[in-house]
Amino acid sequence: MAAEEENDVVELEESITKEKTTKKKKISISKTQDDLMVFLAGIKGISEVMKKRLHKVLGSQGITDPRGIKTHTLKQLMELPGVSENTAKLLLEEVESNQGKLFLSLDEREQIEVKRKKIMTGSLELDELIGGGIPTGTFVELYGSPQSGKTQICYTISANCLLPKEFGGLEAGVIWLDTEGSFNTQRLKQIISYYEYTHGIKNVKTNRFMVANTRTLAQVELALKEAGSIIPKNRVKLMIIDSLMDPFRAEYGGLGELAVRQKHLNKLLHMLMRLAEAYDIAVVYTNQVMANPDPFATAMDKVMPTGGFILGHASDIRIWLRRATSKIRNQHDAPNARRALITDCGWLPQNECHFSLGPFGVCDVDQEANHIKLAGELGVLFESVSEGEETEAKTEFATLD
């Protein structure tokens, strides 16, 4: 081959390789075009350079989805590096206009509420009490004395949220903030195994479950920030905080600090509200009880949940959990029967129901004996968790495995 021809071939080969790499590059750019990039591209009034910078800055805050912008206030957005008031306003306006109309008719609003998914509790009676399960987009407070069943409800709704849709689950992710260090991996796996066994499900996708050890308020806030990127990735529909007030009680003591504590609680609840609204998540938190200082309190008000009015206003459904009376326990052969009373809800009456805590989590009272029998038969499969055995969750989010 002549030298000239040889040069041409080399040039051609080079140009083909160049074209290939450019094509490759183009493909890889379009592949990385996430929802946030597409969203930013559609905003008028922000330069292209600024959009690229915004993508990076928002990403560093765990915002990988336009809905994540809604979890920030105008002030919080303005605190991000290089984000002016005008840019922050444009971002929020665009996010709101993407969500559709601000005002809705009664029928339109009803359509949204009907579409809300419901998480089953494991007990048909308890589901019925709260209108068919725990609806996404709501704040549910479970309060009661130790062993009243708060954490067991959290385990069972977590398992039900992970279950495939054809088995009544949401096939969605769960985020669990463990503020008391009491989360037990084996207990959740035991309940999941029960559903796998009874429904014949091969594998429940447990990798959508994430737990973080958040013993301090700083860790809770950090976890909520990190949750912003986990929620869209794992399609999270349930967030559990067990328990909400524990870190507040540990970090703020005495009446002198009450006002500051309540201000802090309010701030945290608003962070949660923005997450719940932006991603349509059910937020379920447990709470302890304290003696009511009011000397004229009725029998029903003798104990009250901690957290004061701030928490009371935030909770959409407040449920008081107690041990069932001996009459109910004997009548149903259910020594572990519990009572659940709705003490405050804007759309549900103050009704009560009974449920049980069995080897497979929450169940109906008439099922407790059956569950114990089944657990005995399948003893090896559902090896009981020895008392006090705890699996520490990591400070950062960790999967079940």
Task: Report how far residue 122's alpha carbon sits from residue 59's, in angstroms, rounded to the nearest whole number.
Answer: 38
Residue 384 binding result from ligand ATP, Mg ion, none, given CB thresholds of 5 to 8 Å by partner type: ligand ATP
Question: Is 184 among the residues that bind Mg ion (CB under 5 A)?
Answer: no
CB of 315 to ligand ATP, least distance (A): 17
Are the CB atoms for 285 and 141 separated by under 8 Å? yes
Question: Is 121 among the residues that bind Mg ion (CB under 5 A)?
Answer: no
Given the rule CB under 5 A, which of 100-108, 151-159, 345-353, 383-391 is the region that contacts Mg ion?
A: 151-159
Measured from the CB atom, the residue of 224 and 363 that comes closer to ligand ATP is 363
HEC states along 138-155? CEEEEEECCCCCHHHHHH
CB of 329 to Mg ion, least distance (A): 21
Task: Report how far residue 334's alpha carbon sits from residue 358's, in angstroms, rounded to the nearest whole number.
Answer: 9
Per the document, the length of the chain is 401
Residues contributing to the site for ligand ATP (CB under 6 A): 144, 146-152, 336, 357-359, 384-385
Q: What share of the chain is helix, strand, coil (3-state, %, to 5)?
A: 50, 15, 30
DSSP code of residue 130:
T
- Single residue of 151, 214, 356, 367 touching Mg ion by CB under 5 A: 151
Are the CB atoms for 275 and 233 separated by under 8 Å? no
Measured from the CB atom, the residue of 230 and 238 that comes closer to ligand ATP is 238
Phi and psi torsions of 323, nearest 5°: -70, 140
Q: 110-144 burial, b if ≥16 CB within 10 A, otherwise e?
A: eeeeeeebbbbbbbbbbbebbeebbbbbbbbbbbb
Contacts (CB under 5 A) with Mg ion, residues 264-283: none
DSSP secondary structure letters along 324-357: PPHHHHHHTT-TTEEEEEEEEESSS-S-EEEEEE
Measured from the CB atom, the residue of 68 and 144 that comes closer to ligand ATP is 144
Residue 175 binding result from ligand ATP, Mg ion, none, given CB thresholds of 5 to 8 Å by partner type: none
CB of 184 to ligand ATP, least distance (A): 8
CB of 400 to Mg ion, least distance (A): 18
Given the rule CB under 5 A, which of 97-105, 150-158, 187-195, 319-327 is the region that contacts Mg ion?
A: 150-158
Residue 346 binding result from Mg ion, ligand ATP, none, given CB thresholds of 5 to 8 Å by partner type: none
Measured from the CB atom, the residue of 57 and 385 that comes closer to ligand ATP is 385
CB of 181 to Mg ion, least distance (A): 11
Kindly determine how many residues on this chain lie close enough to bind Mg ion according to the rule CB under 5 A: 2
Q: Map tokens 């969750």 to a residue.
A: 393
Instruction: List residues near Mg ion by CB under 5 A.
Output: 150-151
